[in-house]
């Protein structure tokens, strides 16, 4: 996890190249833990993630709901034309989850918080 000194309350977590049933719970736990100590927005850097199965998507949606329940936000930085973006579109989650085309775009939305 990387805390952003320029934008207090913002942390970035770089996710692995593949998220599946073998590591989805660990990834979700790492994202949840990033909300500790006053972090209000966590950017999940999925720009290098090329695969995310249903276990990974369940973990992301669970962390999203937990964050929203406490007034925080999970932002996903996902390459638009990639396989992960397509999975999120097929599962009709792009309108539910906060998805951005880059880490910079996901972090910039924190500026007004």
- Domains in the chain (CATH in brackets) are 2-108 (3.30.750.24)
Whole-number average pLDDT of the chain: 90
pLDDT digits (tens, 9 = 90+) for 28-65: 999 999 998 789 999 999 999 999 999 999 999 999 99
- Answering whether pTM is above 0.85, one says yes
Q: pLDDT value at position 14? A: 95
What is the model's pLDDT at position 21?
Answer: 97
Q: Is the separation of the CB atoms in 84 and 61 below 8 Å?
A: no
Region 9-17 average pLDDT: 94
Provide the percentage of residues in the chain whose pLDDT is more than 90: 79
């Amino acid at each position: 996890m990387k805390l952003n000194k320029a934008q207090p309350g913002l942390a970035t977590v770089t996710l692995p190249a593949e998220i599946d049933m073998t590591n989805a719970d660990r990834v979700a736990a790492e994202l949840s833990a990033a909300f500790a100590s006053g972090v209000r927005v966590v950017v999940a850097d999925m720009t290098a993630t090329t695969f995310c199965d249903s276990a990974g998507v369940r973990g992301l949606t669970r962390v999203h709901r937990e964050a929203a329940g406490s007034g925080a936000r999970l932002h996903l930085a996902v390459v638009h034309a990639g396989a992960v973006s397509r999975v999120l579109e097929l599962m009709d989650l792009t309108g539910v989850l906060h998805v951005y085309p880059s880490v910079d775009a996901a972090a910039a939305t924190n500026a007004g918080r």
